[in-house]
């Protein structure tokens, strides 16, 4: 990862959190359920995200050789009735602290990471936390009925990371049922419409070999293709929107797409 991309991820952690805080500032309470995160309300969602920011910051700052306990963003039962004013400042502080620690460390800083093949720890967490914040901002905005928009470059990077995470060998070890996806002729294409020429937003997922792979393939046909606005495609991939969301077109083998949704475990 080059320095400018790393800096952009650090910036995006804070920028996406600030957009999320704009929603919190308008809220009278944070008890609204979040349908895309069953069992959580808005306050619990924000505690999860802020806890993840602080957890990643600790890993990078301390150069942890093992993952610290993650109870701070997994056990959300104590946070069922959060005060918006208090949570607003806490959320902002955590994002700023994470970005500051990442910048001080630099992209090559090593520590524990769940997928060491992808990047050194600091680079991995900068990208992961930027995109984690994007998706949870979508969760919050959708739950609140607010309009969710996203810069094309940010959306494309988030989609590409989703594919990279899901095509690692560790995925089959954790979710052996995903091996059932593999088979001859099984390819899925996600094609964004209406994007700027410089935005690469056409991805083909290939299930025909011994592992899940993906590539940019704008001229390649697939067994099933989803076409639509980039942000909507991203939210469909992350299951924040249904595949038949208005504006999303599906052509080809719908049974393969349904099977994909049944078995895919990442995102």
Alpha-carbon distance of 176 to 165, in angstroms, equals 16
DSSP state, residue 127: H
Strands 187-193 and 224-229: parallel
**Helix residue ranges per DSSP H, 70-120:** 71-74, 84-105
Confidence check: pLDDT of 24 > 90: yes
**Helix residue ranges per DSSP H, 167-197:** 170-174
Question: Which residue in 222, 192, 216 sits closest to 203, CA to CA?
Answer: 216
Question: Any idea how long the chain is?
Answer: 267
Q: What is the pLDDT of residue 266?
A: 55
Identify the helix (H) or strand (E) that includes residue 164: helix 152-166
pLDDT (average), residues 253-263: 92
DSSP state, residue 40: -
Residue-wise pLDDT for 179-230, tens only, equals: 999 999 999 999 999 999 889 999 999 999 999 999 998 889 999 999 999 9
Strand partners, 188: 205, 224
* % of the chain with per-residue pLDDT over 90: 81
Q: How confident is the model at residue 71 (pLDDT cuts 50, 70, 90)?
A: low
Q: Can you list the pairs that 253-256 forms with residues at least 24 positions away whose Cβ atoms lie under 8 Å?
A: 253/223, 253/224, 254/224, 256/186, 256/188, 256/223, 256/224
Residue-wise pLDDT for 86-101, tens only, equals: 999 999 999 999 999 9
Which domains are present in the chain?
3-148 (1.20.120.450), 157-263 (3.30.1050.10)
Q: What is the pLDDT of residue 1?
A: 73
Alpha-carbon distance of 209 to 150, in angstroms, equals 34
Strands 249-252 and 187-193: unpaired
pTM of the prediction?
A: 0.95
Alpha-carbon distance of 41 to 61, in angstroms, equals 30
Q: What is the pLDDT of residue 155?
A: 97
Question: Which residue in 162, 133, 129 sits closest to 57, CA to CA?
Answer: 129
Confidence check: pLDDT of 267 > 60: no
Where would I find the beta strands (DSSP E) of the chain? 187-193, 202-206, 213-216, 224-229, 249-252
Strands 224-229 and 249-252: antiparallel
């Amino acid at each position: 990862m080059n320095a400018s991309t790393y800096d952009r991820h650090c910036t995006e952690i804070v920028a996406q959190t600030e957009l999320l805080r704009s929603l919190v500032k308008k809220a009278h309470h944070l008890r609204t359920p979040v349908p895309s995160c069953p069992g959580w309300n808005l306050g619990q969602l924000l505690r999860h995200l802020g806890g993840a920011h602080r957890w990643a910051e600790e890993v990078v700052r301390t150069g942890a050789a093992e993952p610290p306990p993650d109870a701070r963003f997994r056990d959300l039962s104590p946070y069922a009735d959060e005060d918006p004013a208090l949570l607003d400042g806490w959320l902002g502080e955590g994002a700023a602290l994470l970005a500051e620690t990442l910048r001080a460390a630099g992209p090559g800083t090593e520590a524990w990471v769940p997928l060491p093949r992808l990047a050194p720890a600091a680079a991995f967490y900068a990208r992961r936390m930027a995109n984690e914040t994007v998706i949870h901002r979508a969760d919050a905005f959708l739950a609140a009925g607010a309009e969710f928009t996203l810069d094309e470059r940010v959306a494309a990077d988030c989609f590409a990371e989703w594919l990279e995470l899901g095509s690692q060998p560790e995925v089959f070890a954790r979710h052996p049922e995903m091996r059932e996806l593999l088979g001859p002729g099984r390819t899925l294409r996600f094609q964004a419409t209406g994007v700027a020429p410089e935005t690469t937003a056409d991805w083909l997922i290939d299930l025909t070999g011994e592992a899940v792979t993906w590539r940019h393939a704008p001229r390649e046909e697939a067994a099933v293709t989803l076409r639509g606005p980039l942000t909507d495609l991203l939210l469909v991939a992350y299951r924040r929107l249904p595949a038949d969301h208005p504006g999303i077109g599906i052509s080809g083998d719908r049974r393969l797409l349904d099977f994909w949704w049944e078995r895919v475990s990442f995102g």
